[in-house]
Structure 1
Amino acid sequence: MELSSALLHKGQLPWRGLLLTASLLIYWSSPTTANVTVEAVPPHVAEGANVLLLVHNLTETPRVFYWYKGKNMDNSNEIARFIPSDNANTTGPAYSGRETIYPNGSLLFQNVTQNDTGAYTLRILMQSYDDTKVTVQFHVHPLLPKPSITSNNSNPMEGDDSVALMCEPETENTSYLWRRNGQSLSEGDRLKLSEDNRTLTLLSVVRKDTGDYECETRNPVSTSRSYPFHLEITYLMLRIPGHTTGKHFTSFLLVFPSLTADPTQGSSGLSGGAIAGIVVGSVAGVTLIAALAYFFYFRKTGG
Structure 2
Amino acid sequence: MCVKKMFIYSIEEEIHLETLIENLKSNKELCCFWLGAGVSKIAGYPLWEELIMKLKEIFIWRGVVEPHILRLLDDPYLKFPQKMQCFKGCHKYLYIDTMKKVFEEVEYMLDKEVFKIIGKFLNQEILIITTNIDKGLQNTLNLSDDHISIIPIENCSINSKIIYLHGRIDKPESWVFAEEDYAKFYHNPPRKVRECWEKIFNNYMIFVYIGYSLTEMEIYSQFFNEDAKRKKVFWIPGISEKNKENIKNNIRYFRYVLELDFKTIPYIVEDKTSLIKLLSEIYDKAFN
Higher relative contact order (CA 8 A, sep 6+): 2
Compute the TM-score of the two structures, normalised by the length of structure 2: 0.21
Compute the TM-score of the two structures, normalised by the length of structure 1: 0.20
Q: Give 1 or 2: higher helix fraction.
A: 2
Q: Give 1 or 2: higher strand fraction.
A: 1
